[in-house]
């Protein structure tokens, strides 16, 4: 004779997990005077979207402030130097908004020449930014990396070169291709003296 099924753990019963069913949780005792601070920390929004493998920046990185002039300087006619300093500029802060998700790479070709990217230009790439239509991106096309202009829409993903002097194809992923956007190019650093340091 079967025994009646009473008591014991019932599937689906109890408090529902707060952090998603796939994450284990533990119970910890917290000093009463810290409860409000811990609750605020848990409720706070994530500061930024970072890749899962984001890395710590080097502890050697520090400020390097240089004076920044108040006025713009015309490129076509020499202007007397203005003695006015508007502010100080730290390139670490100016070029990098997501330190743990930013890296630099040198451009290896001329397919983006009309976009101002030449061979050996230094590209600052932010992996935390969500790529948008017309962003210049670094893409992993499965077998190679490339820098191209992203064109995207509801049913469209294309990578376009920008160099009218050459004939470059428009890249479109096929059904079997596995592509992903590595990051968004945020700055192009050019050596205008071509290495004459």
Based on its alpha-carbon atoms, the radius of gyration of the chain, rounded to whole angstroms, reads 26
Distance CA 95, CA 72 (A): 19
Catalytic residue from among 28, 72, 79, 111: 111
Distance CA 81, CA 4 (A): 94
Strand order in the sheet with 156-160: 102-106, 122-126, 180-189, 136-140, 145-153, 156-160
Mention every residue, 6+ apart, whose C-beta is less than 8 A from residue 38. 30
Give the phi and the psi of residue 30 in degrees, each rounded to 5. -120, 135
The count of other CB atoms within 10 Å of the CB of residue 126 is 19
Clarify whether 21 is annotated catalytic.
no
Paired with 105 in beta bridges are 123
Clarify whether 18 is annotated catalytic.
no
Catalytic residue from among 9, 21, 129, 148: 148
Active site residues: 111, 148
């Amino acid at each position: 004779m079967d025994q009646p099924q009473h008591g014991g753990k019932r599937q689906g019963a109890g408090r529902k997990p707060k952090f998603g069913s796939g994450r284990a949780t533990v119970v910890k005792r917290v000093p009463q005077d810290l409860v409000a601070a811990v609750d605020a920390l848990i409720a706070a929004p994530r500061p930024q979207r970072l890749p899962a493998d984001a890395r710590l920046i080097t502890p050697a990185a520090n400020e390097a402030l240089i004076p920044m002039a108040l006025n713009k300087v015309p490129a076509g006619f020499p202007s007397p130097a203005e003695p006015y300093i508007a502010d100080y500029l730290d390139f670490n802060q100016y070029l990098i908004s997501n330190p743990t998700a930013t890296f630099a790479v040198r451009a290896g070709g001329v397919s983006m020449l009309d976009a101002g990217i030449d061979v050996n230009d230094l590209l600052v790439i932010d992996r935390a930014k969500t790529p948008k239509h017309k962003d210049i991106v670094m893409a992993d096309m499965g077998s190679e990396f490339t820098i191209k202009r992203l064109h995207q829409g509801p049913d469209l993903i294309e990578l376009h070169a920008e160099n009218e002097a050459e004939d470059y194809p428009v890249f479109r992923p096929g059904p079997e291709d596995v592509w992903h956007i590595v990051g968004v190019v945020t700055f192009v650093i050019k050596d205008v003296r071509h290495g004459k340091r």
